[in-house]
Amino acid sequence: MTRRLNSSSPTKPKQIRNARLSRRNLLRGSLAATAAIPLLDADRLLRRAQAADAPPTRLVVFATPNGTRNDYFWPSGSDGALSFPELTAPLKAFEDRLLFLKGIRHCSAVVGDNGFAGGLNGSEHARGQGGFLTARPLGQGAFKSFMATSGWGSGISLDQHLANVLDPPTTFKSLELGIHVRDAEVRGRISYTGADAPVPPREDPADVFKALFGNAVAPPGDPADPGSGTAMLDQLRAERRSVFDLSIREVQRLQARLGADDRAKLEAHIDSIRKIEERLAAPSSGDVAPPASDGSVGSCSVPQLDMDVNLTDDSSLPETAQLQMDLAAAALACDQTRILTIQWSYAESEHLYPFLDLQRNHHAISHDWAGTTGFDQYNQIHVWLAEQVAYFLGKLDSYQEGEGTLLDNTVVFWGSEIGESTSHDLTLMPYVLAGGGGGKLNTGRLVDYGSSPKDNNQLLVTLAQVMGAEEVTSFGDDSGATGTLPDVLA
């Protein structure tokens, strides 16, 4: 979750200058600064940057942990008349806007021998998580996952690549949300700006709300009045700029003591800070209208939510999840972002589910076989997760947009880091697309590639083209196939 500054700790510049800039401190400072930035950019929040007659297409990645049970996941029947088994039955109401993709595997650089004997970095859980949106293997490192170690992902993820090539005119080029992730290592990251450059998800709904709607709920005021809304925002901008000035000086001081590779990485970090500074320096345009009595702003709505949740308590998972999903839908509806990831927990998740009256952790339950208590308990967890997917789809469908809904103009990709949970499989991934993708998806069907399996790389290319990045014809490791998935695009 987002780390907060300890209000009881002094933060004088002298103490900052004398502090040792360790790798951990640098990362902590970067994450804290990143979490604060959008609040300062509040003057541009809630502005819809789309033509009224042509809503933009959005991408949402919905990642849940610990795989699936194939015998209970895939629907059967013909197009338009699918029969849903236990684990995906909650999605039945959205049948005409679902596309089940059976027969997709990770590329050979990620799969290896689908075990530990092949010498690949990371367990299947970690490799599947790292390759989920990158279609690339993990690098070397000391992150422990199950019985293996690894480093970070070895390349950019699709969401960040699309943010670069599409450069959407939104406040957030991409938005990464987490739901009780709590893991800051490779198992807890699906988004990467490049090799060894993971993007941490925002886990605190209160911080997400402030980032998205801070200006909409700030009281109007007079810049000459230090207690008014405008003056307070200006003061916040000035304070955060001073923090970034100190950060840059500390990084520059550290560069002199590093090798060429590390100096290059730090220079890229400085460039990112400078870009942030440019946003902080932008004056408030004062063009954001306050919410109406019903909370609406233009054609989007500021959610009226109770943000008081305990992010360290597994029993609060349902409340936290609903808050994050509501905020995600509002961010898309208000055109604050068009590229969004929602990461549930972490790969190989050991979270508890007390609200389902379960005592053992998710990962342990996921390895129980048929006929055992744990087998039924795993199904119970999976059904609950499918219900959350259905809730989110319903939320998107509740926003009217043009002649359709927000769901019609969104492609939601639901998947997990592994396939069959009992065997850590990476060759039959539980992948589902939902929504209309702006009319580009041929939905209401199950597409079975069983006789000719396809690569995750091709799915990522397909998503890129749905989003309008038609120049993307390959993505990820060279061991994966190129081009789009057949029989998916309308």
List pLDDT tens digits, range 41-64. Answer: 333 333 333 344 579 999 999 999
Q: What token pair was written down for 38?
A: 């959008």
Contact partners, residue 408, CB within 8 Å, separation at least 6 = 97, 401, 435, 436, 438, 439
pLDDT reported for residue 234: 57
C-beta separation of 325 from 342 below 8 A: yes
pTM for this model (two decimals): 0.76
pLDDT reported for residue 78: 79
pLDDT reported for residue 213: 82
Extract the residue ranges of the chain whose pLDDT is less than 50: 1-52, 117, 217-223, 226-230, 232-233, 236, 240, 272, 275-277, 279-298
Q: How far apart are CA 383 and CA 393, in angstroms?
A: 15
The rounded mean pLDDT for the chain is 80
Contact partners, residue 240, CB within 8 Å, separation at least 6 = 33, 36, 37, 40, 280
| Bridge partner list, 101 | 431, 447
pLDDT reported for residue 80: 74
> Domains of the chain, with CATH numbers?
54-197+297-466 (3.40.720)
pLDDT in tens, 397-444: 999 898 899 999 999 999 999 999 999 999 999 999 999 999 999 999
pLDDT reported for residue 329: 95
